[in-house]
Structure 1
């Protein structure tokens, strides 16, 4: 049975670190540490930053969901601006932002987005190696 954790944060930049801390805590509780945990936390930060930056709905909340099923981990970040879909951007060298989805594309095994009835959800999927889980049984 998959393990799932969901939490919400207010749509404001100051809450992005809170989301990252929550993701790290959930991953640690599941025994996902080291490089895989760092990568998921980094991409969660990027996706949450995109949600709080680009969502045009006032007083919105951003929903973060992590699902672990066997060796597959799925990160989902949803916001209520369902018609403003993410797109890869090729930023100029002097632009401060615009590289988040390129990082997601480079570091996740797969990623995409979907429109829900009242939200859009951007997701990233990771396949964890057995050594990524600290609670994995030791080989005999």
Structure 2
């Protein structure tokens, strides 16, 4: 049975560090550390930042979900602005922003987005071939 952790944060920049810390703790609890944990935490930070920055729905929440299923780890970040799907663009070296999706594409094994009934979800998948994990026991 897959292990999963999900939580919501208010759509405000000041809550991004809390989301990043929660992702890092969940990964550590599952025994995922080092470069993979760094990459997943960085991408969680980027995707949550994108969601709180670009979501036009007032007083909403951003959902973060991590799923550990066999040899795959999936990170999903959802917000209620379902009609604004992210689009990568080529940022110039002088631009301060616009690099988030390029990082996702570079660090994840696969990524994408989907529209749901009341939200959009941006997801990133990571293979765990060389990583020993220990998902929490279910009761």
> TM tier, shorter chain?
over 0.9
**For 1:47-101, what per-residue CA distance to the aligned partner results, in whole angstroms no more than 9, with x for missing partners?**
0000001000001100000000111000000000000000001122222100000
SS of match in other structure, 1:118: coil
The alignment of Structure 1 onto Structure 2 pairs a total of residues equal to: 135
Partner of 2:30 in structure 1?
30
Normalising to structure 1: TM-score of the pair?
0.93
- Aligned counterparts of 2:126 and 2:64: Cα–Cα separation in 1: 16
SS of match in other structure, 1:62: strand
Match of 1:102 in 2: 102
Unaligned runs of 5+ in 1: none
Which residue of structure 2 aligns with residue 57 of structure 1?
57
- Normalized against structure 2, the TM-score is what? 0.93
Unaligned segments of structure 2, at least 5 residues: none
Taking the aligned partners of 1:23 and 1:80, their CA distance within structure 2 comes to 21
Tell me what 1:47 maps to. Answer: 47
Shift of 1:133: 2.6
CA distance in 1, matches of 2:37, 2:132: 9
User: Structure 1, residues 20-69: CA drift from partner, whole Å, max 9, x if none?
Assistant: 00000110111111111111000000000000010000011000000001
Q: Distance in 2 between matches of 1:20 and 1:91?
A: 24
Q: SS of 2:6's equivalent? A: strand
Runs of 4+ in 1 over 3 A off after TM superposition: none
